[in-house]
Amino acid sequence: MAIITISRQLGSGGDEAAKLLAKETGFTLVDKARIETLAGEQGLSGPEVDQMAEDAGRAWATNRVVHVDLVQELILNLASEEDLIILGHGGQFIFRGFPGSLHVRIIANRPIRIRRVVEAFQVDEAEASRLLERSDADRGAYIRYHYGEDVEEPSHYDLVIRTDAISPAEAAHLIIQASEVMELKVKGKDLQGWLEGTWGREEARRLTGIPAFAHPSEEEFARVLDFYRIRWVYEPRAFALAWDKEGRITEAFTPDFYLPDLDLYIELTTLKQDLVTEKNRKIRRLKELYPEVKLKVFYGRDFRSLLTKYGSSEVKKKEDPK
Amino acid sequence: MLDDIQEVLIEAEAIQKRVKELGEEISRNYAGRDLLLAGVLRGAAIFLVDLARAISLPVEMDFIAISSYGPSTKTSGVVSIRKDLDDSIADKDVLLVEDIVDTGLTLGYLLRILQARQPKSLQVVALLDKPARRIVEHPIAYKGFEIPDKFVVGYGLDYKQKYRNLPFIGTLKPEVFAR
């Protein structure tokens, strides 16, 4: 999918250019309103959604995990289905390095920005000046806080448009030309491949909403991890445990989850006791052969009590046919 | 209420003695500093007020509550703050007061969001530690008791919001869960 990100100063006409661009190209505009709608659909409360805005007086700083990770997830999920124009929200960093992306910065000189804000908000020059300062500070802080970058730094962008003498419609036209010259739609065909290269296969599947589980207990566990915003990868690695004379692998063990931030593998064992014995042997062997690997095993009983505490009686039933 | 108790794991006297010891240790370690006790609602409320009275320093007290994972959680729901601390913790010595650390998931989330607010220091005091259930490890600077992998109630810990007011830590009879 093709992605155009637009970072803009207040009073630069960037919002209007983005709207016109969406109209001309048919790309989906991801602005504050769209993010709020998506977040609302995810079960976040109204005040929480309000806090996600870049200009919410830094309320996002109270809950980075929700406000930046969820925004990323929502946008990536959408990008797997539609061409997007992303207005603000760190889009230039979410899609940094994606071949099908065009990153645009829209600016204007301060006197012109002040004049536009005076007109748009019906305020005096002093108030317009204050609004500009607050907006610049908030947007700058949002990017610095979540991505550790300077939003003003030109090297983040493919195209910087100064709108002192360029109308929003002309800016939109320039962006369309740039996207055509760059063949965004062609280069952006393999979003999934780029995501997998950048985030890992299962994380990419998770971010784009592709289900990956065969077993309800694994899905439930992943949901618990998601709830606490802990990154996970599903069955990322098979550890060889035995080889034949020719060196071919005859036995391997694939833990269910890997938590990259904790460098920890997790195995959920929900089988009957006689099968657990066999699995325990494999786990012992794995620990002998790969002593550096951190593996945590949750046995049926532990795992069920873990989920029971969280009230997941449904999984308990499915797990335990007896 | 006492009829519902299967076994008393930690007597009230033992809890009070341990809380006093923790209070003394914390008083020594934080002498001359501005200490803020940040209690995690609701489980840590009782522990926090007893602990605060066992500390011989002029501490500040504040509370935070976060959503927890449960049967009504939507597929893509995420943990969030239900009640935030009332005051800024920037440049303060913060002691996060937890009733129990088991999987470490809740604690991990709290530490992440509080660390982002740049306190001068951030450490954890937990009344109970249930290491058998740990998924995510975090250093616990002050620990009351290590307990086995049993579901416990009392001294702030609940079952369906009840039993928090028991003065001891105990387990419930199986029939209580069947009700």
Residue in A228, A302, A311 nearest the CB of B79: A228
Residue B66 in contact with residue B81, Cβ under 8 Å? Answer: yes
Last residue of a domain, one of A149, A172, A199: A199
Same-domain check for residues A140 and A223 = no
b/e code B118-143 from CB counts within 10 Å (16+ = b): ebeebbbbbbbbbeebbbbeeebebe
Both tokens assigned to B27:
């008083």
Positions in chain B whose pLDDT score sits under 70: 70-77
- pLDDT per residue as tens digits for the range A238-248: 899 999 998 88
Q: How far apart are CA A259 and CA A238, in angstroms?
A: 15
| Least confident window among A48-62, A92-106, A147-161, A179-193 | A48-62
Same-domain check for residues A169 and A22 = yes
Same-domain check for residues A159 and A29 = yes
Same-domain check for residues A122 and A269 = no
Considering its fold, how many domains does chain A have in total?
Answer: 2
Same-domain check for residues A49 and A147 = yes
Same-domain check for residues A226 and A311 = yes
Is B84 catalytic? The answer is no
- pLDDT per residue as tens digits for the range B40-77: 999 999 999 999 999 999 999 999 998 877 665 555 56
Residue B98 in contact with residue B124, Cβ under 8 Å? Answer: yes
Residue A68 in this model has a pLDDT that exceeds 70: no
CA distance A79 to chain B (A): 18
φ, ψ for residue B116 (rounded to 5)? -65, -20
Q: How far apart are CA A97 and CA B162, in angstroms?
A: 53
Residue A322 in this model has a pLDDT that exceeds 50: no
Same-domain check for residues A231 and A287 = yes
Residue in A66, A306, A311 nearest the CB of B78: A66
Same-domain check for residues A18 and A87 = yes
Instruction: Please report the pLDDT score of residue A313 as a whole number.
Output: 41
Q: Which helix (H) or strand (E) holds A297?
A: strand A295-299
Q: Which helix (H) or strand (E) holds A85?
A: strand A84-87
Per DSSP bridges, beta strands A3-8 and A249-253 are unpaired
Residue A204 counted as domain residue = no
The CATH number that domain B13-68+79-148 falls under is 3.40.50.2020
Residue A227 counted as domain residue = yes
Same-domain check for residues A307 and A254 = yes
- With beta carbons under 8 A apart, name residues in chain B contacting A62: 81, 84, 113, 117
**Mean pLDDT within A121-130:** 94
Same-domain check for residues A226 and A131 = no
Residue A98 counted as domain residue = yes
Instruction: Please report the pLDDT score of residue B74 as a whole number.
Output: 55
Residue A242 counted as domain residue = yes
Neighbours of B5 (CB within 10 A): 18
Same-domain check for residues A295 and A170 = no
Residue in A227, A312, A314 nearest the CB of B79: A227
Contacts with B, A 5-44, CB within 8 Å: 42-44
Single out the catalytic residue among B50, B93, B102, B129. B102
A227 is in which domain, residue-wise? 212-319
- Residue A209: closest CA among chain B residues belongs to which residue? B76
Which CATH number fits the domain that encloses residue A257?
Answer: 3.40.960
Neighbours of B19 (CB within 10 A): 21
Residue in A62, A259, A310 nearest the CB of B69: A310
φ, ψ for residue B172 (rounded to 5)? -95, 150
Residue A298 counted as domain residue = yes
Same-domain check for residues A39 and A169 = yes
Task: Provide the pLDDT confidence category of residue A319 given band limits of 50, 70 and 90.
Answer: very low
User: Which residue's structure tokens are 């997998």?
Assistant: A196
How many whole angstroms from its chain centre is CA A167?
Answer: 32
Rg of the Cα trace of chain A? 25
- B112 against A47, higher pLDDT: B112
| Most B CBs within 10 Å, among A228, A232, A262, A313, to test the B interface | A228
Instruction: Please report the pLDDT score of residue A201 as a whole number.
Output: 66
Instruction: Please report the pLDDT score of residue A58 as a whole number.
Output: 53
| Most A CBs within 10 Å, among B80, B100, B118, B157, to test the A interface | B80
Non-local CB neighbours of A263 within 8 Å, separated by 6+ positions: A294
DSSP string, A233-248: EES--PEEEEE-TTS-
User: Which residue's structure tokens are 């995510």?
Assistant: B136
Q: Does A110 touch chain B (CB under 8 A)?
A: no
What number of H helices and E strands is found in chain B? 4, 9
φ, ψ for residue A8 (rounded to 5)? -145, 155
| Most B CBs within 10 Å, among A227, A229, A301, to test the B interface | A227
Which CATH number fits the domain that encloses residue A190?
Answer: 3.40.50.300
pLDDT, chain A, mean: 82
How many whole angstroms from its chain centre is CA A268?
Answer: 26
